[in-house]
Amino acid sequence: MADSPHLFTLLESAAGYGLFEVVAFEEISASLGASPSQQDSVTSLPLFSRAVKLKAFQPFANAEDALENINAISEHAMTESLKSFLEMNLPRVSSKKKKEGSVSQFSLGVIDSGLATAISEGIPGISCRSDDTIREITRGLRLHLNSYVKGLDGGGARQAQLGLGHSYSRGKVKFNPDRSDNMIIQSIALLDQMDKDLNTFAMRVKEWYSWHFPELKDIVSDNYMFARCAAFIQDKKSLFSIESIERDGENDTSEQTDKLSGLIEIVGDDVIANSILAAAKTSMGMDCSIVDMINIVNFTQRMVKLAEFRKQLALYLSEKMSIVAPNLSTLIGDTVAARLISKAGSLTNLAKAPASTVQILGAEKALFRALKTKGNTPKYGLIYHSTFIGRAGAKNKGRISRYLANKCSIATRIDSFSDEPSRIYGEKLREQVEERLKFYESGAAPRKNLDVMLEIRKSLEAAGEGDDVKMEDVGEQPSTPKRKKKSKKDKKSSSKKRRRDEGDDSEGEGTVSKKSEKEEGKKAKKETPSKETKDVHSGEEDAAAKKSAKKAKKSLAKGQDEGTDAEEENAAAKMSAKKAAKKLRKEMKKTPIKASKKDEDYEEDDTVSKKSTKKDKKAKNQLETTPKSSKKSSKKVKKSSSKKKKSKE
């Protein structure tokens, strides 16, 4: 961009807007690309203050005004305060130049290219620029801003930056308080981590406690139940005394009897509890000291508490999903939906993603490996953990994953942009996926998406939740179909129709005359004339032409009263009658006259004799041209020609 004679620079600071005029442009442009030691024109205040002068400075009214302006600048937008500030302090551009679109005599330098385009569009006639020289000037202005503006001395600019930074970041964090996407992301990440940790802890508990009671892991296979039993039993010797009490018949309500009832509550079956008692009696495990048993029991109790906390976290996640993404959670489940949201980053990012991205979300490594090796791309990512793909056959897994990804994208968009959460869409979309599975298995045709959406709309209206839908219906007035502009062809066709409607009576007679003429023409074509009947046919043609002319005259006389349209139709009928008569005459001339059988026989004999004479002449010419050695061949030709004559005779 060519440098304008006058250059102004806009500085957006935490304290307000500043407008500076560049007086010595060459000094600053010379510092570009130079070494740090040679950049004195920007770093030193005396040299920079000579090159750049303060034109105007507008501070922000309060913290709210500063936050509003900084949010607009971050979104590449121009506020009304900035527009009024620039219009007041920049040189005025005449209205003629604005209309003509000519370049102004000055240019405004803005460090952000998006804001520069917004200013040039909002204030016509101002040319904005954003390049390396403008960045160098703004670097010097930020460095020496305290010396230009007197009120920013003593740490005032730093305090303004700190306060605006806190309010800006606080506003970004509180941008979406209702949609707690971050809580879902953190909770699903913690659930996945706790699943791994609980598996390792359960294996450690089994291995550690099995040194003391190895038979318990064969009776109780569940990890959580095994840890609860180990924490409850502790030492296996406490179970022997219970059995001895039952044999003696004593009914003491001691700790041992409480252990038996507690063991039955944990296991949930008397048979399993009795088998644990029997195994404890004949156990091959080693005896543990009191200190070792205390450590084992503490670890098992911690593991049990973690498992209980994991259940509470799963309930919390399901509650959050019912608020944030109810349709997606009902479609594919809470955990799979939460994993998709955490992988995408937020619910809005997942709603913006297409269905093809949702399908392979979580299989990025396999996708890039396939693209690198030119192999087959993956068919599914995190969606594979849903129950639908597991139920589908091997051939239909790719199809159902594509269909499921499509429905998931619809559900996420509904959840992201709807004001009131509801599960109706998710339930209907789940039914659609079930119908698609049945279609792949048995061939039963599923419902169309339009029919399903209409059912949802009716159910929402019936439940009283379709207020938005009703408002849309009320707002839509019954629109009358707009009449399209008729083209020339349509106008011609409509005028012809009107003429036909007006002249129905005259058309009746014209059509009768046309039909009679066509029938006469067909009869004349079928009958082939002979020599004797040639004159008769010519007389009949003249009579037919006269009749058609008379009928045309009659139709013309009748159509005069009905208007000009009927006259045009009658004239067309007259012309058609004349054309039909001309065609008949031409066909009569073209058709050959049939002769008798004797004449045909004589004509055949004449043609045969003519052919033979032609062949003889050719043979004579060959004899004259050929030498003596070829006379034998000529004799053979003569013999063959004579034989042909005899055979024909």
Which of 91-105, 294-308, 412-426, 486-500 shows the lowest per-residue confidence on average (mean pLDDT)? 486-500
User: Is residue 331 packed enough to be buried (19+ CB in 10 Å), middle (13-18) or exposed (0-12)?
Assistant: buried
Task: Write out pLDDT tens, residues 129-184.
Answer: 888 888 888 888 888 888 888 878 777 788 888 888 888 888 776 655 556 788 89
Mean per-residue pLDDT, 595-610: 46
pLDDT at 400 over 70: yes
pLDDT at 81 over 80: yes
- What does the mean pLDDT of the chain come to? 75
Report yes or no: 310 and 195 within 8 Å, Cβ to Cβ: yes
pLDDT score for 532: 41
Model confidence at 649, pLDDT cuts 50, 70, 90, reads low
Q: What is the dihedral of CA 606, 607, 608, 613, to 10 degrees?
A: 90
Alpha-carbon span 642 to 649, nearest angstrom: 11
Model confidence at 2, pLDDT cuts 50, 70, 90, reads very low
Report the candidate in 309, 301, 312, 313 with the shortest Cα–Cα distance to residue 201: 301
pLDDT at 332 over 60: yes
If one compares 602 and 556, the residue with the highest pLDDT of the two is 556
Report yes or no: 57 and 9 within 8 Å, Cβ to Cβ: no
Which of 5-14, 64-73, 108-117, 564-573 shows the lowest per-residue confidence on average (mean pLDDT)? 564-573
Model confidence at 239, pLDDT cuts 50, 70, 90, reads confident
Model confidence at 476, pLDDT cuts 50, 70, 90, reads very low
Mean per-residue pLDDT, 623-627: 48
Model confidence at 356, pLDDT cuts 50, 70, 90, reads very high
Model confidence at 489, pLDDT cuts 50, 70, 90, reads very low
Report yes or no: 223 and 202 within 8 Å, Cβ to Cβ: yes
Q: What percent of the chain has pLDDT over 70?
A: 65
Report yes or no: 378 and 356 within 8 Å, Cβ to Cβ: no
State the residue for tokens 């005599």: 105
Which of 36-45, 231-240, 596-605 shows the lowest per-residue confidence on average (mean pLDDT)? 596-605
Task: Write out pLDDT tens, residues 610-624.
Answer: 555 555 555 555 545
pLDDT at 45 over 50: yes
pLDDT score for 314: 93
Task: Write out pLDDT tens, residues 438-461.
Answer: 999 888 888 888 998 998 888 888
pLDDT score for 644: 58
The H or E element containing residue 11 is strand 6-12
Model confidence at 39, pLDDT cuts 50, 70, 90, reads low
**Which DSSP state fits 511?**
H
Mean per-residue pLDDT, 528-548: 50
pLDDT score for 597: 42
- Contacts of 142-148 spanning 24+ positions with Cβ under 8 A: 142/11, 142/13, 143/42, 143/43, 144/45, 144/48, 144/49, 145/11, 145/13, 145/18, 147/45, 147/49, 148/18, 148/20, 148/49, 148/54, 148/57
Q: What percent of the chain has pLDDT over 90?
A: 24
pLDDT score for 31: 62
Report the candidate in 551, 546, 542, 552 with the shortest Cα–Cα distance to residue 585: 542
If one compares 513 and 499, the residue with the highest pLDDT of the two is 499
pLDDT score for 260: 74
Mean per-residue pLDDT, 564-582: 67
Model confidence at 584, pLDDT cuts 50, 70, 90, reads confident
pLDDT score for 602: 42
pLDDT score for 499: 53
pLDDT score for 23: 85
Task: Write out pLDDT tens, residues 589-599.
Answer: 655 544 444 44
pLDDT score for 298: 93
The tokens describing 512, both together, are 């009768």
The tokens describing 232, both together, are 């409850």
Alpha-carbon span 18 to 157, nearest angstrom: 13
Mean per-residue pLDDT, 187-216: 92
